[in-house]
Structure 1
C-alpha cells in the first residue's frame, strides 16, 4: 500500500514522482502506470521499482497539465502535490547499494566451491552431493533467489534463461549432483555481481555531476561580505563574485563589471564582458573583475542544475540495446529445453535427458562468448587511454551511422593561435608583432597569450613600456618609447576616437573566415590587424575521412560558436552539416531530430554544454583530459588523451569484437551440440558434461585473447589538415 508520494522534480515536459510503501511485486505499480497511460501527449512512462520512482515525459503542447496534476494529487495521501526536493538533494534516485548483497552471495558460493576443492583435490576425501547432504542443502538455499525469479517469470508466461537455470539446479540437486548445481550458481552469481557493480558505478557517477558548482561563496549582508554555503542561498541573496571564482547562481548583476568565461555553458572560448543589468548563469567563471549578483534561481532551479537533471534522466532512460549475449541466452534456452525434451521423448531415459540438460545448463555460451571478448576489447582500449564504460557501449559504437561533433576542444584545441598579421602601414609584420608583444606582456587573456607565444617562437623580444592599462572586454593600452599603442576591438578604438576608415573592409574577409580580429593603433592611427583562430587538431580531417570510409554516412558539426566560425571549420574539414550558435538543450534537440530519422548517432564533445547531447545520443564520447567532469560522466566513452584517432579505434574495435563474439558463439554452441549428441546416445555421463564446459571455455578464452593486441590500420595524417600559422 502506498504510504507516501512526492513530486521529486518537475520541469515543463518532465515530472519525477517518488513512491514509498510499495513492494517491487505490488500490482499497484501497474495501476499507477495505467492511470497516466491514457493521457494525450504522454511520451514515456518509466517505472523504477528499485528506486521507487515514476518518471513521466510528455509533450506540453498536447498534454492537459492541469488534469495531469490532478491525477498526481490523487496519488498523494500525505504530502502536498507540487512539493519539490531541497536543492541539496540533487533529485537523484536512491536505489541503495546493490553491490554488497551480490558480492556476499558470490563470495559465499566461492567459499563453498573452494572448500569442496580442498576436501576432494588436496585431501582426497569424498563429498556427498545428495539432496539431504550439507552440500545439497546449501545449494538449495543458495538457489532460492534464482528459483523465486524463475517462478515469477513462469507466472508471467516468460520462459527465459533464469527459468532454465532454476530447473537445471533443482534437477541437479535432486539427482545427487549438487556440485554441478554449484557450478551453475557460481557463474550466475559472478554475472550478477558484475551487473551490480556497473549499476552502482553509474549511479554514483550521475550523483557526482551535481557537484559542478562551488560549495562556498560570499554574500552581501548589510554591506559586508560574509562567507556562506552555496546550499544555503535563497532567491534574492546578493552574491559577491571575485576574479577566479565560479558563478553559483542564476541572476542579474546589480553592480560591478567582469570578464566572464561562459565556455562551460555556451562553448564559446572568448571571454564575455558583463555589467550591471546583465544576466549570468551558474557554472560560468569570473576571469577578471568583481560583480554583485542578485540570485534569481538557486540550487536545483538554476539552468546548470536543470541541464544536469536532464542528463541524469536521459542516462537512466537509455533504451536497452539487444546485446549479443541476450541473443545467445535466448538461443540457449530454446535449444536447451528442446534438446532435453527431445532426448527424453526419443530415448525414454531420465538419466540421458538429465545429462543433456546439464550440458546445456551452464551458461558458458551466454556469459563467456560475449564477456571474454568484451573484456579483452575493453582492456585493449584502456591500454590506448580510451575508457569505455561497458560492453553495451562498445557494441553500439560499431553500429553508428552519424557522428555529431562539437568544435572547440574537440575538432580544435582550446587555445587560440595567431593566424594572421595584416599590416596597413609602413610597419612590417615582424615590427607589428613586436609592438603587440610589448603591449600584451602582462595580459593573461588567451588572445594575449597567443601573441606572446608566437613572438617567442620568432625570438622577438618586447619593448619596455612605461604605462599599461587593461580595459575589460575591449583590449589594452600601453605607452612604448613615448608612443601610445592600442590593441583591442572596435569598442576600444571608438573609446579613443580612432577612425577605422577602410580598415573595416580589410577585417571583413577575416571575420567571414570565422577569425577573431583585433585592431592595432599607434598614435591614434590604425597600423595593423591581428587575426586569431583555434588550432585545428592535426588528426581531425583524417579521422573524419576514415570514419566516412568505414561506413559513417553523416558528419554534423553542432557548436555554440558563431555561424562564420562554424561554417569555415566545416568547409575545411569536409563536414556535411553545420548547426552554429547552439545552447546545450538545442544541441540535444539536434541529436534527437537526427535519431528521429532512424539514424544511430555518436556525439563527441568536451564541455558541460555538450553533456545533454552526449546523454541523448546513442553513444556519447568525451574528450577526456581537457573535457569537463560533467561531460565525462555523461559520456559512454572517454578519450583520456584528447586524441581524436580514438574514434576510429573504437569504431573498428567494436566491429572486430562482434566478429569474435560470433566466432565464440559457434565454438561454445558447437561443443554443446556435440555434448548433447553424446549425452543423448548414452556416451556421456553428468560428470563428463562438466569437462565439455572446460574445453569450450578454453577455446573461447583463446579466441577472445586475440583482441588484446588489436590495432587498426594507422591513419595517414596529411600536412594540409594542420591549421596554417603565420609564417
Structure 2
C-alpha cells in the first residue's frame, strides 16, 4: 500500500494515467462497436463534437476518454497557472492551460490531451533530471553515519550518531563510518576520505591526525576524541554548502528569468493578434503551445546543478552559479608559494657560522631562543632542530618585535637578537663585516630561505630553511595553461632568489617576491586592471586581503577549516593541487553547456514558429518537438555528470607512490632497450 501511495504522489503518476486514458480512447475508437460508441453527455458536448469535426458524429466514449486524459494531465497545470496569476506572474503553465482549454472548447480533444500529456511528461522528466543531477548531494547525505560506538563509564556503548557528546572518545573499527570530526588519540588505521576530499586512496591515520564524519575505515582501529558533532561536522557543512550552491542562480539564469517575464506575455499578445487577424482559433492556440520557453527556462539550472554536483563529488565546493560562471572566465591565477607550490613543511637545512668564537650549536641556540616567541611559520623548523640538538630554549624571550617584511627582534636574557634579512640589520645599525649578505644570497639562489642572526651589534651566522616543492606543482601549472589560464603568478613574502628558484622548477609565468599582505592585494588588483579575471589561491590568513580582492578566492585543503568551507568561492577539500585546474575546466565545460542549451531552446522555438505560419505544424506536433528540445537540453547537461577522464588519469598518476613510478619508468626503459 505504501508503494502505491508513493507512486501516486510521484511526478510520473499523472502522465502515466493520462497516457493510459489516451490509449483507451484509441482502443475504443478502433473497436467502433455501437454499444461502445453510444452517445453520452449533455447536448452542448454533442454540438461541440459536431462543430469540431464538421459532421454529425456524436460525442463518443472515445472522446470522453480523450477528454479525461486532458483533464488528468491538465488539472495540475491549470492550478499552477492560477497560483502564478494570483501573485501576478505569467508563466509557461498559463500558455499551456489557455491552449488546452481552448482546444477542448472547440472540440479538439486529441490536441488538448496530447498537449497536456506531453507537458506533464516534460515536468516529470525535469524533476527526475534535477533529482539525478542532485545525486551528489544525495550521496553526501547517504554517507552520514547513523550510529557511533563511544566509551562511557569504561564501557563501549552504541548510540545514535547525533547523540555523541563533544569531548567523548569514539571507537572506529574496520569497515565502520567515522561518526564525528575528531582527533586520533590512539591507534592506527586507513581511512577512505572520498566523501570529503574526492580522493579514493585511503589515508593512513595515527595519533594527532584529524578524521572527518562520513569517512570510512578500511583497516585498523582508532580511538577518536570528538571535536565536531552533528551540524558542526565538516560533512554537514559540505551538505549545507552544496545545497545552497545548487539553488543559487547564475547571472545568465537571472537574465533568462527576466527575459521569460516579458517573453511569455508577448507570446499571448502574438496569439491574440494572430486570432484577430486570421480568425483562426486553432492557429492562435498552436502559437501558445509553440511559444512555450520550457527548454530555455530549464537550460541554465539543469547545467548548474549538474556542474556543481559533479564538482562536489570530486571534492570541489563551488559557492554557486555566479561563481561557476566567473570561474569559467579565469585568465590569471595567483598562488601563494608556501603550502601551495610547496608542501608547507619547511625544514632547517643550513647553519652557517660567521663568528670564530661560536660553533654551529651556539648559533642555533641563539636563533631558537629568539624564535621561541615568534608566530612565523619558519620558527617551527628552527625550534625543532634546536630540540634535536639539545639546545631547545627554556621559556620565551622577554620581548619579541616582528618587523614586517624584514624579520624579528627579540630580547633574550637582556641581549638583543636580530633574525632576518639585510634591511633588518640596516634598520638597527648592525654592520655586516663578516660576509653574511653574500652567504645569504648563495643560499637563496639554491632555493632556500636565509635568515641572518645577529646578537647585539655583532653578526654571528646565517641559518636557512627550505620547503620541498610539491611533486605535482609543475603539472598543475601546465594543466592550468591547458585549461585556458594565460598567466600563473606567484605571490610570496619570501626573497626573490628563493621565489625565482621555485618558479623556474614549476613553470610559473610571473614572480612577485618580498611582498607584504597589502602588496599581494595590489598585485591582484594590477592583474585585474590588465583585464584579467583573477583567481587567488591562499591560506586565508596573510592572504586574506588578496583573496577578498580576487574575482575568485580559492582555499586548498579546506576539509579541516570550517571558515574556508563557508566563505571560499571555491573550496578544494583535499590537498591535491590538480583539483585547481580541474575546477576551472569543469566551470568552462558547464558554461559551454549552458550556452549550447540556450541556442537549442531558441532555435527550436524559431523553427516551430516558422513551421506554424508555413503550415504543417499542429498543436500536438509542436508540443512533441518542444518536449523533445527539453529532453535534448537535459541530456546535454547530464554529460557534465561524467568524469573528466584526462583529469582523473593525471590525478591518479600523481598520487602513485614514488617507488611505483620509478619501477614503472624502469620497466618502460627496459622494454625500449
**TM-score between both structures, scaled by the size of structure 2:** 0.51
Q: Does 1:356 align with 2:297?
A: no
- Closer/same/farther in 2, CA of residues 496 and 355 from structure 1, 3 Å limit: closer
- CA, structure 1 residues 539+137, in 2 after alignment: closer, same or farther (shift >3 Å)? closer
The match for 2:436 among 504, 511, 524 is 504
The answer to whether the aligner puts 1:141 opposite 2:82 as a matched pair is yes
Is the Cα contact below 8 Å between 2:444 and 2:450 reproduced in 1? no
SS at match of 1:409: helix
SS in 2 for 1:642: coil
1:396 is aligned, of 326, 333, 343, to: 326
Match of 2:540 in 1: 607
- Deviations 1:696-720, CA, capped at 9 Å, x for gaps: 33333333333312234666999xx
Q: 1:420 maps to what in 2?
A: 350
Q: 1:509: how far off?
A: 1.7
Aligned counterpart for 1:595 among listed residues 503, 528, 539: 528
Partner-residue secondary structure (3-state), 1:408: helix
* Aligned length in residues: 452
Q: Find the partner of 2:556 among 618, 623, 627.
A: 623
Deviation at 1:694, TM superposition (A): 3.8
Secondary structure of 2:338's counterpart equals coil
Equivalent residue number for residue 583 of structure 1: 517
1:543 to 476, 481, 490: 476
Q: Measured at CA, do residues 187 and 359 of structure 1 come closer, stay the same or move farther in structure 2, by a change above 3 Å?
A: farther
State how far apart, in whole Å, the 2-side matches of 1:687 and 1:527 are: 91
Task: Tell me how far apart the structure 2 counterparts of residues 397 and 511 of structure 1 sit (CA, whole Å).
Answer: 38
Native 8 Å contact 1:435 1:462 kept in 2: no
Q: Which residue is 2:341 aligned to?
A: 411
Counterparts in 2 of 1:176-187, with a 5 A limit?
176=104, 180=116
Gap runs ≥5 in structure 2? 1-7, 25-64, 105-111, 135-244, 402-407, 419-430, 659-673
Secondary structure of the equivalent of 1:405? strand
Supply the distance in 1 between the matched residues of 2:78 and 2:96 (Cα, whole angstroms).
16
Alignment root-mean-square deviation, CA: 5.9
Which consecutive unaligned segments of at least 5 residues does structure 1 have? Answer: 1-109, 151-161, 198-314, 456-460, 476-487, 723-727
Contact kept, 8 Å, 2:98 with 2:285, in 1: the verdict is no
Q: How far 1:648 moved relative to its partner? A: 1.6
Q: For each residue in 1:592-636, what CA deviation from the matched residue of structure 2 results, as whole angstroms up to 9, or x when unmatched?
A: 443344332222222144445434333222224278544543432
Counterpart-to-counterpart distance in 1, 2:459 and 2:545 = 44
**Secondary structure in structure 1 of the residue aligned to 2:558:** coil
Matches within 5 A, 1:647-658: 647-658=580-591
Shift, 1:646, TM fit = 2.0
Alpha carbons 2:452, 2:461 under 8 Å: kept: yes
Give the conservation status (yes or no) of the 8 Å contact 1:143–1:169: no
Cα 1:435–1:420 shift into 2, 3 Å: closer
- Give TM-score, length-normalised by structure 1: 0.48
| Cα 1:338–1:117 shift into 2, 3 Å | closer
CA distance in 1, matches of 2:481, 2:515: 26
Distance 2:524 2:593 in 1: 31
1:700 alignment partner in structure 2: 633
Residue 186 (structure 1) shift: 6.0
- Whole-angstrom distance in 2 between the partners of 1:396 and 1:619: 7
| Aligned ranges 1:155-234 → 2 under 5 Å | 170=98, 172-173=100-101, 176=104, 180=116
Residues 453-483 of structure 1 deviation map (CA, whole Å, 9 limit, x = unaligned): 889xxxxx957679955546779xxxxxxxx
Q: CA deviation at 1:645?
A: 1.8
Which position in structure 1 is the counterpart of 2:573?
A: 640
CA distance in 2, matches of 1:687, 1:546: 49
SS in 2 for 1:375: helix
3-state secondary structure, aligned to 1:420: strand
Secondary structure at the residue paired with 1:536? coil
- Cα deviation for residue 530 of structure 1 reads 3.3
After superposition, the Cα gap between the structure-2 partners of 1:421 and 1:122, relative to the gap in structure 1 and judged at 3 Å, is farther
Distance across 1 between alignment mates of 2:349 and 2:559: 22
Alignment correspondent of 2:35: none
For the residues of structure 2 that align with 1:466 and 1:629, how far apart are their CA atoms? 34
Change (3 A) 1:398 1:320: closer
TM superposition shift of 1:540:
2.9
In our comparison, the structure showing a higher alpha carbon Rg is: 2
Partners of 1:165 and 1:121 lie apart in 2 by 19
Deviation at 1:386, TM superposition (A): 1.2
The whole-number CA distance in structure 1 between the counterparts of 2:644 and 2:393 is 60
Q: What residue number does 2:53 align with?
A: none
Residue 219 of structure 2: aligned partner: none
